[in-house]
Amino acid sequence: MNFPPLRRLLVLLVCALAAITGRGAEPAKQPVAEMSVSDAVVLGLVEGITEFLPISSTGHLIIANQLLGLESEQQLTDKAGQPLWYRTPSPEHPEGVPLTLKLAADTYTVIIQVGAIAAVALLYWSQLLNMTVGLVGRSNSGMRLLRNVIFATFPVAVTGLLLHDWVDKHLFSVPAVIAAQVAGAFLMLWAERWRRANTGIGFSRNEPANMSPRKATGIGFAQCLALWPGTSRSMVTIVGGYLAGLSPVKAAEFSFLVGLPTLAGAALLKAVKTGPAMIEVFGWGNLLVGILVAAVSAAIAVKFLVAFLSRNGLAVFAYYRLVVALVLGLFFLL
């Protein structure tokens, strides 16, 4: 298959890796903890492959961090053995917040979503251009599509800001991921059965731009479920698209577009809050590797998903989630 945007991403990856590994300038400040290039590649692959498939990127990244040994909550120290702080002790926060490997790794896995964002922006540049033209009043369909993306983004943006810290504290765990994988699998099986029973209502003719604002907002509220790690933002927006009358392919493509502001907002929030701490721990090089690998693998995954959904539905991914939940339960809990 011919993927011109993918070829551009591959060229960018090769050039960036050459710059990272072969730079002749004075070396930058050494990170306080080592992340190998292979770890960065693994996390980039997991992010890119799972971000837009309905199987949960966050859940898979939590598992990958566990397997790579990046979950330690022991306070890091500098070369002189002095403790490092994310937030130093103060009268307002006497205990402070220590800088840990887990804090840095959790931030890393969110920021490398930038690669997945870049992949979708390249693959769906024509829709983005149409929305831009619609914004200035030169495309009615582009304006309607932009309106629906905004309506589908607003609920999760507000909810995410309100619950961000609570989710980080209580739901980033393997048991939570297992529960979400199982719940999501049964939701997908129900949604697929519902879609097949209602194929006569015009699924193949509906377009995301032609949805009513009410249906787009409904997809936005469905997307709030993805704040539970392991649920999958892609899955709940595709299911929401089904219920709004979109075909599997159109629901997936709308999910990709809705994901752009959602993922960008999450990455920006993490970068502002804990990005400098993550750079202090891991350095810039491996961050760039993760972003670029995520971009290439996400482009491949998006192409695969569209081709797969055009012939099949969500059921296969639901069964995959059940298998993942079973394996995780046996491996981590028993």
172-195: average pLDDT = 92
Give the chain's radius of gyration (CA, Å).
21
The rounded Cα 161 to chain-centroid distance in angstroms is 16
Range with the poorest average pLDDT among 21-25, 36-40, 85-89, 145-149: 21-25
Q: Are 246 and 206 in contact (CB under 8 A)?
A: yes
Cα dihedral 22, 23, 29, 35 sign: negative
Write out pLDDT tens, residues 244-267: 999 999 999 999 999 999 899 889
What is the pTM assigned to this prediction?
Answer: 0.84
98-104: average pLDDT = 91
- pLDDT for 331 equals 81
pLDDT-derived band at 200 (thresholds 50, 70, 90) equals low
Q: Please state, for a pLDDT cut of 70, what percent of the chain lies above it.
A: 87
More confident residue, 32 or 164: 164
pLDDT-derived band at 15 (thresholds 50, 70, 90) equals low
**Strand stretches in the chain, DSSP E:** 85-87, 97-98
Enter the tokens of residue 20: 């990272």
Range with the poorest average pLDDT among 16-25, 96-105, 145-154: 16-25
- The C-alpha torsion from 184 through 255 and 314 to 192, rounded to 10°, is 80
3-state per-residue secondary structure call for 76-126 = CECCCCCECEEECCCCCCCCCEECEHHHHHHHHHHHCHHHHHHHHHHHCHH
